[in-house]
Amino acid sequence: MSTILAKLPTGMRAELKEPLGAVYTDADALLADAGEPLVAVGDIVTYHLLEAGRRPDVAVVDGKTKRERVEREVLGAIEAFDDRIDVANPQSTITDDLLEALASALEAPGSTVVVVDGEEDLASLPAVVGAPDDASVVYGQPDEGMVLVPVEEESRVRCRELIEGMQSDYDRIAAILS
């Protein structure tokens, strides 16, 4: 049974609408600027990166975009990965299962897709906190494009502050990601 370690309060939703990095509409341009390893959060982002010829090292997907089921060809993209981890993560939360899957996927030698039963929208925050220096986290910005977040001290601090601003057990989150 997964434990919720962070829950997004309604008052923070607007704060999370601001992109954490540059917004791209072209996957090739994004990939030219991306570091390694590459972490993708979201079905559509993962699909576009695969279509551009780059399999993310880690992808976190939930089979939905804007709360609607994704098309079959997008769903099929999860078959492109070496390993698969299934987790439960309710809407507007970060669970220990999601964090453990992220940590495991970041350490795995091949590519891993984390398939979320629930919602993966907040996964980009712990992905930035847990990914190594010079990695990149890419997530979708609805109706705008893909956001590229270079993993460095500044972006880690920002994501940590956002998680700490939620109803969260940040110490436990940090322990799982370290």
Model confidence over 11-49: pLDDT tens digits?
998 899 999 999 999 999 999 999 999 999 999 999 999
Q: What is the DSSP string of the chain?
A: ---EEEE--GGGHHHHTS-SSEEES-HHHHHHH--SSEEEESHHHHHHHHHTT---SEEEE-SEETTEEPPHHHHGGGGGSSEEEEEEE-TTEEEHHHHHHHHHHHH-SS-EEEEEEE--GGGHHHHHHHSPTT-EEEEEETTTEEEEEE-SHHHHHHHHHHHHHSEE-HHHHHHHH-
66 labeled part of a ligand binding site? no
Relative to beta strand 83-89, strand 112-118 is: parallel
143 labeled part of a ligand binding site? yes
Q: Using a cut of 0.85, tell me whether the model's pTM lies above it.
A: yes
121 labeled part of a ligand binding site? no
133 labeled part of a ligand binding site? no
Cis-peptide, bond into residue 109, ω within 30° of zero: no
Phi, psi at 65, each rounded to 5°: -140, 130
What does the pLDDT look like over 110-135, one tens digit per residue?
Answer: 999 999 999 999 999 999 999 999 99
Tell which residue, 46, 64, 30, has the closest CA to residue 112. 46
What does the pLDDT look like over 55-105, one tens digit per residue?
Answer: 999 999 988 776 677 677 777 778 889 999 999 999 999 999 999 999 999
79 labeled part of a ligand binding site? no
26 labeled part of a ligand binding site? no
CB under 8 Å to 175, separation ≥6 — which residues?
none
120 labeled part of a ligand binding site? yes
In the chain, domain spans: 15-170
